Structure 1
Amino acid sequence: MKKEKAVVVFSGGQDSTTCLFWALQNFSEVATVTFDYGQRHSAEIECARKIAEELNVSFKVLDMTLINQLSANALTRNDIEVSAQEGELPSTFVPGRNLLFLSFAAVYADAIGARQLITGVSQTDFSGYPDCRDTFIKSLNVTLNLAMDKQFVIHTPLMWLDKADVWQLSDELGALDFVQEKTLTCYNGIPSTGCGECPACQLRNAGLAAYKERKSAGELV
C-alpha cells in the first residue's frame, strides 16, 4: 500500500464502489467526492453517503447542478426516455460530465493534499460515451497537471474491463457481496439488482451472470 492520499470520484454504483475498494487496498488514506448534478434520483447520493460511512471514508458532495442549465439528457430529465440509437450518443450522455467531475475532483484533491484520483470509467463498457475513453483520461491528466502545476495521477482500474471482469475484480477485492447488495446502478433508482429492465441493470446483471458462469466453470485466470 502506497502511503499517499487518494480521492475517488464516487457515485455509489457498482463501478465506483469497486474502485473505492481498489483504492482502499492501494492507498493509505482515501476520500470520496460525489456530485449532485440534478440526477433523477437523490437516492444515488444517499447510497454513496451510506457506503462511505460504512467503509469509514470521508464523503464530500459538490453541487454541479449548473449542468442542467446547459443541456438536457435522460439522466437528469424524467421526460426524456432512456434510449440509444446506432450512430448517435445515448440519451443518457451528459455532455462534459467527466470533464467537469474530474476537474473539480482535482481541485478538491489539491485542497486536502491528495494527488491520486480514481475514476470508474471503462472504454470496454463505455456505452458510447466519449468521456470514458482512455485517450480522454490521459489528455485530461496532462491538462490538469499543466493547469494546476501539480502532479496528479488519474487511475482507471476498470478501463479495459467488461462488466463480468468488474465483478471478478470486486470478488478478488473481497467485496462482491457488498457491491451486489449495497450499490445503486439502476436508472430507475432501485438499489442492488435494480429494475432489471433499464440498460444499466441489463449490463450489470448480464455481467454478474457471465462472471458466475465463468467462475463455476473454472475459467478464471
Structure 2
Amino acid sequence: MAKPNKAVVVFSGGQDSTTCLFWAKKKYDEVIALSFNYGQRHSKELECAKKICKEHGVEHHILDMGLLNQLAPNSLTRVDMEVDHEAPEEGTPNSFVDGRNMLFLTFAAVFAKQRDIHVLVTGVSQSDFSGYPDCRHVFISSLETTLTLAMDYEFEVITPLMWIDKKQTWEMADKLGVFDIVRNETLTCYNGVMGDGCGECPACKLRRHGLEEYLKVRDHK
C-alpha cells in the first residue's frame, strides 16, 4: 500500500523552517506544521509561526516542551545569559540547547504516527550548523533509524537544507516565490528582532551574509 503523501514540518517561524515549510507545500498533498514552546527567550517566534500558517492555510500545532528549559539552561532560554558572539575554541556555543532537535523530532514522530504520516521535514543544515552537533547529517540518519525501530513504523526525516548554505537557502526561498515572506515575516534573531534582525547576533550575521551574497548574484543577472 502506498504511503500517504503527507508531511509534518518542524516549524519555528525562522528563515530555515519557513523555507522548508513552503518547500514541503509544493511537494506534499498535505502539510502540518508543528512548533514547540520550550520557554524560548523570544515567544515572538511562535507568533510568527502562527501568523504564517494562518495566512497560508497550514494546519498548525504548538506542543509544550517547557521541561527542556529546566533541563538545559542556555542563552536562548535565559535572559540573564548573553549569547556567545563567537564559537568557543572547545565545546558548543551557549546558544546550543542540549537535546533540542532530538526531542523535537521524536515528539514530531509520535505526532505524525497518530496521523498516518511517515515524513518529517526539518530545516537543519550541516553547511551552516554553527557548531551544533544535532544539525549534522550523521545525527539525522541515526535518529531516523532509531525512530523507525522504536515505533516499528517507517519514518523518513527530510532535510532540504542539509547541504546548502544561507546564500543557497535565500535562493531556494526566491525560487519558491516566498522571498519577501521569509525576509520580512520570519524571526531568526537571537535578540527577538523580526525580519533582518538586530544585525549583531550570530544568527543575524549568518543570515545577513547569505542574503548579501545572494543579492549580489541575483541583481547582476
* TMscore range, shorter length: over 0.9
Report what 2:206 is aligned to: 203
Gaps of 5+ in 2: none
Specify the SS of the correspondent of 1:60: strand
Matches within 5 A, 1:66-105: 66-83=67-84, 84-105=87-108
Instruction: Tell me the amino acid that sits aligned with residue 216 of structure 1.
Output: D
Question: In the TM superposition, what is the alpha-carbon distance from 1:3 to its structure 2 partner?
Answer: 5.5
Map Cα deviations across residues 174-198 of structure 1 (whole Å, 9 max, x no partner). Answer: 1111111111101111111111111
Report what 1:160 is aligned to: 163
Report what 1:16 is aligned to: 17
Contact 1:5 1:28 in 2 (8 A): yes
Specify the SS of the correspondent of 1:50: helix
Instruction: Tell me the amino acid that sits aligned with residue 64 of structure 2.
Output: D
Matches within 5 A, 1:5-154: 5-83=6-84, 84-154=87-157
Map Cα deviations across residues 71-99 of structure 1 (whole Å, 9 max, x no partner). Answer: 21001001111113122200100000000
Query: Once the two structures are aligned, what percentage of the paired residues are identical?
Result: 58
- Report the TM-score when normalising by structure 2: 0.96
Instruction: Tell me the amino acid that sits aligned with residue 9 of structure 2.
Output: V
Specify the SS of the correspondent of 1:31: strand
Contact 1:6 1:30 in 2 (8 A): yes
Specify the SS of the correspondent of 1:150: coil
Map Cα deviations across residues 156-176 of structure 1 (whole Å, 9 max, x no partner). Answer: 000011100100010111111
Specify the SS of the correspondent of 1:146: helix
Specify the SS of the correspondent of 2:96: coil
Instruction: Tell me the amino acid that sits aligned with residue 113 of structure 1.
Output: D
Runs of 4+ deviating beyond 6 Å = none
- Report the TM-score when normalising by structure 1: 0.96
Provide the rounded CA distance (Å) in 2 between the counterparts of 1:208 and 1:9. 23
Contact 1:3 1:27 in 2 (8 A): no
Provide the rounded CA distance (Å) in 2 between the counterparts of 1:193 and 1:183. 9
Instruction: Tell me the amino acid that sits aligned with residue 23 of structure 1.
Output: A
Contact 1:120 1:158 in 2 (8 A): yes
Provide the rounded CA distance (Å) in 1 between the counterparts of 2:72 and 2:40. 13
Gaps of 5+ in 1: none
Give the CA RMSD over aligned residues: 1.1
Contact 1:7 1:32 in 2 (8 A): yes
